[in-house]
Amino acid sequence: MENRINGIHHITAIAGDPKRNYDFYTRILGLRMVKKTVNFDDPNTYHFYYGDETGTPGTILTFFPWGDQIPAGRRGTRQVTEIGYSVPEGSLDFWTKRFHDNKVVYNKVSEKFGEQYLTFLDPDGLKIELTVPKVADARKPWETAEVSAENATRGFHHITITSNKIEETAKILTDIFGYKLVEQHVNRFRFITDAVDTAAIVDLVEAPGERAGHVAGGSVHHVAFRVANDDILMQFRRKIVEAGYQITDKIDRNYFYSLYFREPGGVLFELASDNPGFGVDESIDQLGTGLMLPAQYESSRAQIERVLPALV
Ligand code: ZN
């Protein structure tokens, strides 16, 4: 585990209205807001992090909610086109009823690779699946008054990347990240790492004729893969440079250290470390309750708080 890619760290997507996004993910989906901060490149907009109690890597979905003036994105190639959460066996009836009662757009329960799943769209059109994994997911869920442990999401099950041609993306997964191709159905190729038990799956869907997606509201901005610490992050940086890719320097994201590179299928990949974690500026019981600003914006706090819309 120590010097490997340990599955997915987080997924970052783009949303419209911040309050609508907050209400959907905390109330309907029952996630914990583990960090409320700003976009470090644009401090007049929020950056929300949702996850389990402590924001364990592999459970973290983050959003830049840019407001309703953001145009809608379009799913297509060169994108992460699906986000999969794992849920307990027997919970899909609960979720189907919940989506129906709350006017969420959802599909009939279906099955792929022997696992049942329920697809739905968030209020901005982001496509998410709830999958019952073959092997029960032992991660401890965050519970709310409306979503208790027998139904609650456990964190990520998989992501799906859609590409015109998957070959070079597959090579990064297998040759650099340590994933193996384990199953294939028509044009969907399932890759898994055995470094971790959960958030370990990447599906590559090959769609040669399909047009490129547009990354805007309701689409995924990037996916981050997980490493144990920032020393291992830099070991992977060397491997990626040796493979001929351009990659950023190490970036301090306050809650983890990051590198970014564009994989040949067109998706922005990030590598992110477990250290230091979300407890660095709030206690675990207080996570997500305050507006946390990086040091460079603390002196502008009053102005930033005036601009950001209220969530309650
Ligand atoms: Zn990220």
Residue 135 confidence (pLDDT) above 90? yes
Cβ(176)–Cβ(236) below 8 Å: yes
Q: Please tell me the distance between residue 21's alpha carbon and the centre of ligand 1 in angstroms.
A: 18
Instruction: Give which of 62, 71, 22, 72 is closest to 40, Cα–Cα.
Output: 62
- pLDDT tens by residue, 15-45: 999 999 999 999 999 999 999 999 998 999 9
CA 294-300-306 angle, to 5 degrees, is 110
- The CA distances from residue 86 to 198, 200, 249, 250, in Å, are 9, 11, 33, 31
Q: Please tell me the distance between residue 12's alpha carbon and the centre of ligand 1 in angstroms.
A: 6
> What is the rounded average pLDDT of the residues 90-109?
98
Domain ranges of the chain: 8-307
- What is the rounded CA–CA span in Å between residue 187 and residue 204? 8
Q: Please tell me the distance between residue 268's alpha carbon and the centre of ligand 1 in angstroms.
A: 9
Q: Please tell me the distance between residue 90's alpha carbon and the centre of ligand 1 in angstroms.
A: 32
- The CA distances from residue 170 to 7, 219, 259, 264, in Å, are 15, 22, 20, 10
- The CA distances from residue 274 to 225, 227, 255, 256, in Å, are 10, 6, 8, 6
Q: Please tell me the distance between residue 11's alpha carbon and the centre of ligand 1 in angstroms.
A: 6
Q: Please tell me the distance between residue 223's alpha carbon and the centre of ligand 1 in angstroms.
A: 7
Q: Please tell me the distance between residue 89's alpha carbon and the centre of ligand 1 in angstroms.
A: 30
**With bands split at pLDDT 50, 70 and 90, how would you rate the model's confidence at 312?**
confident
Q: Please tell me the distance between residue 221's alpha carbon and the centre of ligand 1 in angstroms.
A: 8
Residue with tokens 């209400």: 23
Q: Please tell me the distance between residue 144's alpha carbon and the centre of ligand 1 in angstroms.
A: 26
pLDDT at residue 165, rounded to an integer = 96
pLDDT at residue 2, rounded to an integer = 81
Residue with tokens 């600003």: 293
Q: Please tell me the distance between residue 219's alpha carbon and the centre of ligand 1 in angstroms.
A: 14
- What is the rounded CA–CA span in Å between residue 282 and residue 10? 19
Enumerate residues 6+ apart whose C-beta is below 8 A from 275.
228, 229, 230, 256, 257
> What is the rounded average pLDDT of the residues 62-72?
95
- pLDDT tens by residue, 140-189: 999 999 999 999 999 999 999 999 999 999 999 999 999 999 999 999 99
Please report, rounded to a whole number, the percentage of residues in the chain having pLDDT higher than 90: 98
| pTM score, whole prediction | 0.97
φ/ψ of 283, rounded to 5, equals -70, 160
Q: Please tell me the distance between residue 71's alpha carbon and the centre of ligand 1 in angstroms.
A: 21
Q: Please tell me the distance between residue 1's alpha carbon and the centre of ligand 1 in angstroms.
A: 21
Q: Please tell me the distance between residue 96's alpha carbon and the centre of ligand 1 in angstroms.
A: 30
- The CA distances from residue 105 to 28, 35, 94, 207, 208, in Å, are 13, 27, 15, 25, 28
Q: Please tell me the distance between residue 271's alpha carbon and the centre of ligand 1 in angstroms.
A: 8
Cβ(126)–Cβ(81) below 8 Å: no
Q: Please tell me the distance between residue 270's alpha carbon and the centre of ligand 1 in angstroms.
A: 6
Class of domain 8-307: alpha beta
> What is the rounded average pLDDT of the residues 281-308?
96
Residue 1 confidence (pLDDT) above 70? no
Cβ(124)–Cβ(168) below 8 Å: no
Residue with tokens 């989906």: 29
Q: Please tell me the distance between residue 285's alpha carbon and the centre of ligand 1 in angstroms.
A: 24
Q: Please tell me the distance between residue 3's alpha carbon and the centre of ligand 1 in angstroms.
A: 20
- The CA distances from residue 240 to 5, 84, 175, 188, in Å, are 13, 26, 10, 25
Neighbours of 230 (CB within 10 A): 19
> Up-side HSE of residue 306: CA atoms within 13 Å toward CB?
4
> What is the rounded average pLDDT of the residues 84-98?
98
pLDDT at residue 138, rounded to an integer = 97
Rounded to the nearest integer, the mean pLDDT of the chain is 97
**With bands split at pLDDT 50, 70 and 90, how would you rate the model's confidence at 97?**
very high
φ/ψ of 93, rounded to 5, equals -65, -45
Q: Please tell me the distance between residue 186's alpha carbon and the centre of ligand 1 in angstroms.
A: 31
Starting at the edge strand that comes first in sequence, how are the strands of the sheet with 201-206 ordered? 110-112, 115-121, 127-131, 79-86, 156-163, 201-206, 188-192, 180-185
Q: Please tell me the distance between residue 36's alpha carbon and the centre of ligand 1 in angstroms.
A: 14
